[in-house]
Amino acid sequence: MRHKLAHRKLGRTSEHRKALLRNLCTSLIEHERLITTLPKAKELRPFAERAITLGKRGRAAETAEEALHARRLAAGYLFAGNTDRKHDGGYKRPVPPRTAGVMALDKLFDEIAERFANRPGGYTRILKLGPRKGDGAEMALIELLGSESKEVHHEEKAEKKSRLRFFGRGKKKE
């Protein structure tokens, strides 16, 4: 029987699973859409929606302490991206750039919380994409609502190289 078993294990230990969900949530907030397997997308949905709700709570906070508390709670749902960012104030040393977790947290509280301010829940959409070619895993696209108007970045294919023969030699030109 499956009593009180709420979440999928995804074939990982609890620490690995939590790190996976944090990384996926950070990427989802940063890029607003993500292609992953269907079980991961289904497990990510409530995880990301709780983070967005905390972002909304921080935007609507009346005091600075409440806003800071919501920001710190939401940071627990994202990749801890600033752990190696050290600046000792040395002479002409550049400050390391902000990492994905800090940028995602800023975007969560500035853009995304504002976009969903009047929405009571249901901030994500999951679209099934069919089986993956290599192993047959069911793939899905998870995206934030309202991001469908943004263009998807497509990489252009490079020109085909000429076919090489044995030992790196090409065909003889006539």
Is there a domain that residue 156 lies in? no
pLDDT band at residue 13 under the 50/70/90 scheme: very high
Question: Is 126 contained in some domain?
Answer: yes
C-alpha–C-alpha distance, residues 48 and 46, integer Å: 6
Tell me the pLDDT tens digit for each residue of 89-135: 666 666 666 678 888 999 999 999 999 999 999 999 999 999 999 99
| Bridge partners of residue 36, in order along the sequence | 140
Are 126 and 42 a contacting pair, CB within 8 Å? yes
Mind listing the pLDDT tens digit for each residue in 134-171?
A: 999 999 999 999 877 665 544 555 565 556 666 666 66
Asked if residue 28 lies in contact with residue 144, where contact means CB atoms within 8 angstroms, the answer is: yes
- Is the CB of residue 159 less than 8 Å from the CB of residue 141? no
* Within a domain: 76: yes
> Does 173 map to a domain?
no
Instruction: Give this prediction's pTM.
Output: 0.75
Tell me, what CATH number does 129's domain have? Answer: 3.90.1030.10
Residue 155 lies in a domain: no
Residue 154 forms part of a structural domain: no
Segment 35-60 mean pLDDT = 94
pLDDT at residue 84, as a whole number: 61
The two tokens of residue 68 are 């800071």
- Domains identified in the chain, total number: 1
pLDDT tens-digit series, residues 68-89: 999 999 999 998 765 566 666 6
**Distance between CA 40 and CA 21 in Å, rounded?**
8
Q: Is it the case that residue 65 has pLDDT exceeding 90?
A: yes
Distances (CA, A) of 118 to 18, 36, 56, 90, 113: 29, 29, 9, 46, 9
Residue of 60, 38, 42 lying closest to 114 (CA atoms): 60
For helices 64-75 and 100-107, angle between their N-to-C axes, nearest 10 degrees: 130
End-to-end CA separation in angstroms for the chain? 74
Q: Is 164 among the domain residues?
A: no
Helix axes 100-107, 14-31, angle to 10 degrees: 60
Q: Is residue 144 part of a domain?
A: yes
User: Judging by DSSP bridges, how do beta strands 138-144 and 124-131 pair with one another?
Assistant: antiparallel
pLDDT at position 151 is 59
Q: Which domain holds residue 31?
A: 14-83+96-148
